[in-house]
Amino acid sequence: MYKPELLAPAGDLEKLKWAIIYGADAVYIGGPSFGLRANAQNFTIEDIKEGVKFAHDRNRKVYVTVNIALHNEEGKKVLEYLKELEKTGIDAIIVSDLAIMDIALKNTKLEVHISTQQSVTNKESVKYLKNKGATRIVLARETSKEDIKEIIDNVDVEIETFIHGAMCASYSGRCVLSNYFTNRDANRGGCSQICRWDFNLEDENNNKIEGEKPFTFCTKDLSLLKYIPDMIDMKITSFKIEGRMRSIYYIATIVGIYRKAIDEYMNNKESYKYNKEYEAILNRCANRESTAQFFYGIYDETCQYYNGRIELSNQDFLGVVLDYDEKKGLALVEQRNYFKKGDLVEIFSPNGNIITYEINDIYDEDNNLIDIVRHPKQIVKIKINKTLHKYDLIRIKRY
């Protein structure tokens, strides 16, 4: 029976666990080499093994990005790396360079997914890749609902599309601004996000064409929460969330909301209603505005973001529940943002439950009563008479 996969990013082992606990069916991660986030923490081979065990114990999957554009020097090392990955028990690799696909399929039992870096936009390309042995194609973010549907209707292969997160301003793989501006290779994991820089726009006579804000390539983010029913009805295999560099709060929140929306629609299509509160929670977690972008064929001025590198930030995320003492009714909490006695907060759980609570008694590690929790990662105890659990998160209530 068809059930869409909710696929979450995980920048490290901790985030992998949070993504899975909050409802991701699968996670994608970067290994120690050949991924497009060369400057992220990434996973060691040992981390991958541990992550795979954690995921497989819960019947979830792990995919590893091996999606750089090869240069000669990397080509010589890739087989050895793929064999190391194979031993970890991962469920698939995600590649853009077809030589890597070829090497993997001929020399390992690894399943191969085609990365969005290959910018696959049509059914002929999908057919080609399927015939060559890829089991899943991550479509280009430029494809519309109609494009995706036509591909699914014509080629029997798994199709993955993005549902949430930041967008490349360019076709993926067709931007090397980073190479030319900073010498950092965009297609080998060094992208320095020149698309978020400000530029002066000029005419041929060097006259500035100036708006109220400077020119930038930068776009709003993607959010397809509203279109989850459409995507499910189209039978898209996997719904992908962007953001391997994002925080545990972001991952838990976004995964949790999409998990709820998907399950609610799958459980009862007739009675499903779009929940605006979910949208509000996603928006609070974002640092840019979002739109449906190419999914509905729209890539006009309403999709641009002219605030350059300025990103909205909030201090909603207050803390992580580390433990709960049933006898004393005390939650052990690690602080992430300033909070104080009297704050109205929401405590949300991997099972989707949300508790609204006004913070009352707060104790420091020496059991002294305090009013304010101001230090990053400060460990405190909060009196609460409702049972909390490890992996619960606390955010300020804003509506």
Distances (CA, A) of 88 to 34, 52, 133, 356: 16, 7, 21, 41
Of the candidates 90, 126, 128, the residue with the CA atom closest to the CA atom of residue 109: 90
Q: Which residues pair with 347 in a beta bridge?
A: 355, 394
Note whether 128 binds other proteins by CB under 8 A.
Answer: yes
Note whether 71 binds other proteins by CB under 8 A.
Answer: yes
Please identify which residue in 14, 54, 56, 74 interacts with other proteins, judged by CB under 8 A.
74
The smaller minimum CB distance to other proteins, of residues 37 and 336, is found at 37
Note whether 315 binds other proteins by CB under 8 A.
Answer: no
Note whether 49 binds other proteins by CB under 8 A.
Answer: no
Q: Which of residues 79-118 bind other proteins (CB under 8 A)?
A: 80-81, 84, 96-99, 102-103, 118
Of the candidates 368, 391, 398, 246, the residue with the CA atom closest to the CA atom of residue 319: 391
The smaller minimum CB distance to other proteins, of residues 54 and 197, is found at 197
The smaller minimum CB distance to other proteins, of residues 77 and 340, is found at 77
Of the candidates 130, 128, 139, the residue with the CA atom closest to the CA atom of residue 111: 130
Please identify which residue in 54, 135, 157, 176 interacts with other proteins, judged by CB under 8 A.
176
Please identify which residue in 301, 313, 368, 399 interacts with other proteins, judged by CB under 8 A.
301
Q: Which of residues 256-285 bind other proteins (CB under 8 A)?
A: none
Q: Which of residues 211-250 bind other proteins (CB under 8 A)?
A: 211-213, 215, 217, 219
- Quote the CA–CA distance of 364 and 382 in Å, as a whole number: 9
Burial (CB count <10 Å: 0-12, 13-18, 19+), residue 284: middle
Note whether 156 binds other proteins by CB under 8 A.
Answer: no
- Cα 172 from chain centroid (whole Å): 16
The enclosing H or E element of 238 equals strand 238-241
Two structure tokens written together for 288: 């840019």
* Angle of helix 78-88 versus helix 98-107 axis, rounded to 10: 60
Beta strand pairing call for 339-340 and 317-325: unpaired
Q: Which of residues 23-42 bind other proteins (CB under 8 A)?
A: 31-33, 38-39, 41-42
Note whether 120 binds other proteins by CB under 8 A.
Answer: yes
For residue 245, the minimal CB distance to other proteins (Å) is: 13
Note whether 122 binds other proteins by CB under 8 A.
Answer: yes
Two structure tokens written together for 234: 């189209």
Binding window for other proteins (CB under 8 A); candidates: 244-252, 281-289, 295-303, 316-324: 295-303
Note whether 14 binds other proteins by CB under 8 A.
Answer: no
**Tell me, what DSSP letter sits at residue 308?**
T
Please identify which residue in 14, 50, 86, 185 interacts with other proteins, judged by CB under 8 A.
185
The smaller minimum CB distance to other proteins, of residues 261 and 292, is found at 292
Please identify which residue in 54, 197, 227, 296 interacts with other proteins, judged by CB under 8 A.
197
